[in-house]
Amino acid sequence: MAADGAKIRLDKWLWHARFFKTRTLAAKEVSAGNVRVNGTRVAKPAHSVAPEDVLTFPQARAVRVVRVLAIGTRRGPAPEAQALYDDLSPPVSEETVPAAPKYEGKGRPTKRDRRKLDLNGPGTLE
């Protein structure tokens, strides 16, 4: 971790904290104006962030709100990245997450079904 009072580029911190897979993706999200620092919209990836700053940004289908706790020196493993921030986002309820599609029993016929189709004529399935 870096010394107290230190600052780091916003895109670099988002990448260190593992919110984005690449620093380029983090920079694009910031450049698009989708990130807020302490409630203020930021459009430059080089904007400095320091401990105690609150960041708000979209990630997947949710809006994340995190408080910066520390400045990272490298992109380390997930436990190290999670120590860099405090998640203030409201918990996602299971009702808002769409359910996975279920198999309805339709689809491609089995070999046996295809034989029946051939014997009984087109369109008849017993």
Residue-range domain boundaries for the chain: 1-90
What pLDDT is recorded for position 116? 82
Given pLDDT bands bounded at 50, 70 and 90, which one contains residue 28?
very high
pLDDT in tens, 77-111: 999 999 999 999 887 666 666 677 666 677 787 88
Asked if 45 and 20 count as a contact pair (C-beta separation under 8 A), the reply is no
Q: Is 52 or 97 the better-scoring residue by pLDDT? A: 52
CATH number of 1-90: 3.10.290.10
Mean predicted lDDT score pLDDT of the chain: 86
pLDDT mean over 31-44: 95
pTM comes to 0.71
